[in-house]
Amino acid sequence: MEYVKIPYVKKEVSRIIYGTAMQPFMMGGDGNELLDAMYHLGVNTFDTARNYMAAEVSLGNWLETRGIRDGVVILSKCGHPSPSGEKRINEQEIRKDFQQSSQYLHTDYIDIYLLHRDDPEVPAGNVVEIFNAMHAEGKIGAFGGSNWTHERIAEANEYAYKHNLIPFTVSSPNYGLADQMEDPWGGGCVTISGPSNESAREWYRENQMPVIAYSSLGRGLFSGKLKSSDIENADKYLDPAAMKGYGYPENYERLRRCEELAEAKGVSVPQIAMAWIFGQNLNTFAVVSTSKPERMRDNIAALSIELSQEEVLYLDLKKMTL
C-alpha cells in the first residue's frame, strides 16, 4: 500500500480507501471481520457519510470494538439534501450532521470532512467560515467538497486566502476510466471523467489537490464480471444506477480494451482500470467497495502496475491502436 500526507490530516492516508456504501454496513450490520481484513491489508482510510443509512453505525462499532481509532483515518460527509430534495448547506445542518456522525462513529473528531453536495446559491466563503470554525474547535481535520465543481472549490479557496483561513484541501468527484455519461442518482453529482472534463482535470493537475475518486471502477463496469462479449446482458451485472451512468457503447469499448491489456499483461480487468487511474498525474485516491478481501488485495497490487502513455491513451479511446 502507498500512503500520502494530506494537509491537516494527522495520519498518512492510504491511496486506496475502503467505501462503506454497501451491505452489511448500510443496514447497520456486523462488518467487523470484513473491516479487519481491509485494515490488515493496509487500508487505513474508510469512507462513509451521514446519508449512507446506518453505515456510520457499523464502522463506529468496529472502531470501538477493536480500539483502533488512533490508527484509522475517517472520511465522512455532511449536508446531503433531505429526502424531499431540500438543500442543507448551512451551519445548523452541517453541525447537526456532525453531531450525529460523531455519535455513531464513537469519536469526537473526523479526519476528513466533506460537504456531500453543493448549493451554488450559498456563497462559498460561508462554507469556508463554518469549516474553519469546526477545525478550530478540534472537530475536523481536512475539509472540502464531494460533488463540487473545481470552479466552486477555487471560489472557496480564493476567499480563504483573502481572509487568512484554511482552504479546501480535498475534493471527491466521480473519477475513473469510465465516462459518467449521466448523473446516476440525480441531484448534483459531479464527474471529472471523460473528454468533456479535461479542463477540470487540468485544474487538479496544476493544483495537485487530493482527488478522492468515487465509483472509480465504474460502479462494477470494470469488476471483471461483465464481459465485453456479453453486453446485451449488462443489466444482469450492473445495477440501475450503473447502467444510467456508465452503460454506453464508449464505456463498453473501454472495457474491451481493458480485457485486451489484462490478458496481455497477465493481470485482471479491475487491475488495469485501477492502474489507469493512478497513471494520470493527478493526486488521486480511489474509493473501493468490495466484500472480498482478495479483490482488495488485487486493487492494492494494481498500484505497482505501470502503463505506458500509449496504453493510457488507448484505454481512454484517445489512441485507436497500440
The CA–CA distances, whole Å, from 35 to 15, 40, 42, 117, 215 equal: 17, 9, 11, 27, 19
Residue 204 is placed in which grid cell?
Answer: 487538479
Count CA atoms within 13 Å of residue 273 on its CB side: 30
- The pLDDT value recorded for residue 82 is 84
Count CA atoms within 13 Å of residue 187 on its CB side: 14
Smallest Cα–Cα separation from 217: which of 158, 257, 174, 267? 174
Smallest Cα–Cα separation from 175: which of 277, 248, 298? 277
- The pLDDT value recorded for residue 121 is 94
Residue-wise pLDDT for 79-131, tens only, equals 998 888 888 899 999 999 999 999 999 999 999 999 999 999 999 999 999 99
Q: Which residue has the cell 490488515?
A: 40
Residue-wise pLDDT for 217-254, tens only, equals 999 999 999 999 999 999 999 999 999 999 999 999 99
pTM of the model: 0.94
- For the domain spanning 3-315, the CATH number is 3.20.20.100
